[in-house]
Structure 1
Amino acid sequence: MNDKFTTAGKDVLVEIVKLAQKRKMEGEKGGWKEFLKGYDTLLGASMSDPARRTPQVLRAFLDTFKKGEDLKFFAKVMECHSNRELVKEQTNSTDVESPQERLVRLTLEHPQYPIEYSFPSFKEDWIVTKHRKKFKETRSSKLLAVDCEMVLCDDGNEALVKVCIVDENLEVILHEFVKPNRVVVDYRTQITGVSAEDLDGVTCSLADIQTKVKKIISRGSILVGHSLSNDLKALKIDHARVIDTSYVFKLGHDSTKRKPSLNDLCKFVLDYELRKKGDPHNCVDDACAAMKLVLAKIKHGFDKNMPVVQDDVPESENRKLLIHRIPEDLPSEELGQIIPGDFTIEIKAKKGHGGKYSAVATFKTLQEALSTYDKLQGVEEKDSSGRSQKPVSVQLKSGSTAIICVRKMTFDEPDVKVSTKRPYPTEIDVDDSKRLKTEKTPEAEHIVDHVKEIKRLNDLLSKRDEEIASLHKIVAALTRKQGL
């Protein structure tokens, strides 16, 4: 095992140590932080991020594990990484990467993949489908979508109770109930749609389902699913070639912090509602939805960031754009000449002071609203509530130039939440002192403000980079002094 750690790259070592932390694993010298306290008398556990430690320190920690089960787990993580690298090598080895292989690669390259797909498949009740290194031309490229439902058992763990597999034509290949081998304490009927009566007379076991699934996915088929790792854990099947729809669609500016829900993806990509709020899941519907998403991704791309649809926001609001700071001498009928797209206009409010009013443009779909917003010429900014908006320059009949703002009704950032204390706002109340006034060159003032802010942020980043560089020098010096 030590030889494997010696040849492993730093990224693999960091991955294994982070997983050991997450699982609260302890070697002969304790857990990661406890090990650092004894191993590094100068810094101790003050620099506990594995990514900031040298490979020598990471290997020294992993060498403290002697239990067979721990070593098997580490070996499985390294195998997982090896499979991922092998798939990437094979997809990159051809002149043209197929759309299916590209989505497999995107799944394998996702930051959450090593954590969520590192299964304990070394255990006896798991099945591992081997990834073939040779005879690539004989490997199947067919897509199969999988969805499972799980119940809660008396030991606190989940057990598979229902499984469905559909092919690219949305034909159901497998749809069966599974009898858990433990006592069920919660069927979660409101989520799973499964009750105790549904299992009356069911004799199919997990081992039976594993055998059936293994036959279906033979010759390296690509499994498709939303948060597919949960379904594979329930099936206790480790399969290398997967496409996870929660990974391959971009969400906001940082898809690593929050994954889109299947229902939101259906709304944004497929323009339909998978299920009403509060309705139970349906295995066939969910498997078909995942397959439709992958087929749409292959056909159309959908590489733009998907907006974070807030549960607090009524669905009808997501198809709207708020237009505010509109001068009174600009008729609402002329907004259609300024803003592209097919929409209806509703006047929301007229302000007695400042001579401004607001309006809402309602589109047929969320995609049309976002497409129109993307086409607008303007430097994107955030309003006081954190929503994205663009200032748009318009020429008035008087000959002067004015700036109106077009704002999204959804948030781009996953960490911005809508207050539940008041209804979702349809306009912005802005003090006169914060309004953009109609002047000869308002665009110039707007650009100057942005340039100043960018300069300030760049200065802060430069200072931070200098601090980080100094810390790295200190760490390197201490490391050489200890002979690591």
Structure 2
Amino acid sequence: MTKKKYTLYKADENGDGPAPCAFFLSPAGCRNGDNCKFAHILPNDGKSKAKATPTKTKSTPKAPVISSTASISSSDISSESEDEAPPPKHVTTKTKAKKTKATKKATPTTPKTVTIVEDDMFLPHGQSSASTPVAPNSESDKKKRKRNSDPFAKPKKSAATPTAESTPKSNQKKAKVVKKQDSFRDLDLPIASFQLPSAHVALANLPIASPSAITAKKATPKEVKYPIPNNTEEGRKWKNAVLATRANPKYKSDFDYDKAKEIEHDELSSLWFKASPFGPDKAGNPHVVAIDCEMCETVDPVSGAKNSKALCRLSIVNAVNPDEILIDTLVKPKWPVVDHRSRINGIKKDHLENVEFTLDHAQAFMKALCSNETVIIGHAVHNDLIALKMEHHCCVDSAMLFSIKDEPGATCSLKDLAFSVLNREMPDVHDSVNDARVALSVIEEGYIKTNGKPEPITRTFSRNRRFGNANNGADQLFVHRIPKCCTPDHISKMFMNHTSVQPTEVPDVEFNSDTGKTTVTFASIQHANLAFNALAGEPKPDKTGRMQKRVYLRTGGYIAVRKMIAPKKSNTTKE
């Protein structure tokens, strides 16, 4: 390898004398003055200002002459290699820009969709999430599991958010609503009537009681943030029931509209509205109404986001005169329907094909009907309001006004309430007009007529009542915390794979929130006990004292299997 030798250019043409001083011609000048070891060259004659002892470097090639008119820079006196040619005269060396490598933008990775095979949903018998850790597919999956143990919770908002261009034009149309109207009765809406074949029979036998007046109490400071129905006589009759609903410990979470918006797709979360303040424009409207909605499940064709509470039927009756149906119509969902839930609501695909009434029309009706003080009555009414995208707090909820005997914290179903309070059976297929009237009657008979002190109801079992079964649920197991993608067939296969005991009946899963529940029936009490005992793990009592076990899912989380009968307390006393 050739050793490079470096030398400075000389001051004159002969290559003699010291090298020129780089600082002499600078604005600051050379700090060494006459003591500088380099040559101070004058611009007009090129001569050195101070004489210095000439030095000669051996075997040094002659440097090119620097003109007196040339400006001297640090680049002109920089060193060069012996093997390289010196820079030409009067040429200022340009600094080349460094080439920077373009940083590759990281392509966002779409979380892998968890595909559930029917026989592969649950972990093998005896395994739990602790013994078989499941690695999440992405960071978003981790957050979902942290927020909710349901492994099949709705995915986070997709990056491919539909725009106005990608959204079908039919979805972009807004409801044509008459701007000037005296009341909700003047709206010109494309109502799509719907009635189940057996609905008129159930409605004809339904006892309807008129509302009773109750003594109003002063609201606590915590309740001031929500409107109170003080401006009308009808509203004041239901004031205590409104406050009692808000006092339920579950109210804060069930009526948490901010949370509901947060987990929704952007396109849906932007549709929410509130009723206008009470004023003269609503004075002639009913101020207390009973409501029930039917829902289906839809999917956004662009992003794949799901809406498990898509409105498909809206029914509202006048609470003062329940015979008056203010509206009863099918509703065309915004996105394509993937599950009509016909087994629950009786609505099939062909029923919705020619429907023109949309969520926009439903919201226009509610805006014209309700003020922020309108009392809305129903069972688990927060689900109906979420389907309508309506933020409302003057509500009376039958699910929050009654309790179940020996089951603190449990929520009673409308079927249990109807049988216990009204002594009547509810049909298996829901009819929203009937459900609205039943919820209203249950509250009037069981809550208002008892001055807000209803007796705890006893949980009933329709199957046992129908067939005269005296087992009272001992031949059944209650399965809850069921994820939304889990079907009755999954539950049946789970019992076969884990216990080798075949259930005789697994009803449709009832979803009231992010998870569902159902009651599984076996051939006998012995079969039910055998199935429960065969499940892996130690049984632990729940809040009601009933023993339950967990069955873990492959994707994380678990379902709970619980006995229907609490163990008998020992009668032995200490001597």
- Is the radius of gyration larger for structure 1 or structure 2? 2
Greater per-residue strand proportion: 1
Q: TM-score, normalised by structure 1?
A: 0.45
Greater per-residue helix proportion: 1
Q: TM-score, normalised by structure 2?
A: 0.38
